[in-house]
Amino acid sequence: MDRGYYLMVKMKSPNGWVEYGRFYVGDERELANTTFNGLQGRTQSDGWLRLELMESRGLTQVSLQRIYCSLDELMENCRRITKEVFKQFNLEQDPVPAPELLAV
């Protein structure tokens, strides 16, 4: 069964949390956790923006961790995530192949 890790970007709306972005961070749980643990934010539900570390197994998605952040923290987090993903896919000795993107 294929397994992968994603960082979902969500915002709070009157109808609940809405996903509006997603970063694929590879298929290694340790690397996904390390990337997530380096992000800015709080575990308390006190904001309108949320980053959630998800594990995907086939068609099943499981939430592993989440943090709430300000717009400035989200901006910095997106920079950090992009930097880590770039290193993983371009600079590591055995780069992880990117998953096929599905049309929505």
Residues with Cβ within 8 Å of 69's Cβ and at least 6 positions away in sequence, in order, are 39, 40, 41, 42, 47, 49, 50, 51, 77
Q: What is the mean pLDDT of each run of 10 residues along the chain (104 residues)?
A: 90 96 94 95 92 94 96 97 89 61 47
For 18, the token pair is 């809405």
First vs last C-alpha separation in the chain: 22
Look at residue 103 in the predicted model and tell me its pLDDT. Answer: 46
Look at residue 40 in the predicted model and tell me its pLDDT. Answer: 96
Structural contact between residues 7 and 49, judged by C-beta atoms closer than 8 angstroms: no
Q: Cα separation of 93 and 104, whole Å? A: 32
Look at residue 90 in the predicted model and tell me its pLDDT. Answer: 86
Look at residue 2 in the predicted model and tell me its pLDDT. Answer: 80
Look at residue 47 in the predicted model and tell me its pLDDT. Answer: 85
Whole-prediction pTM: 0.81
Look at residue 96 in the predicted model and tell me its pLDDT. Answer: 55
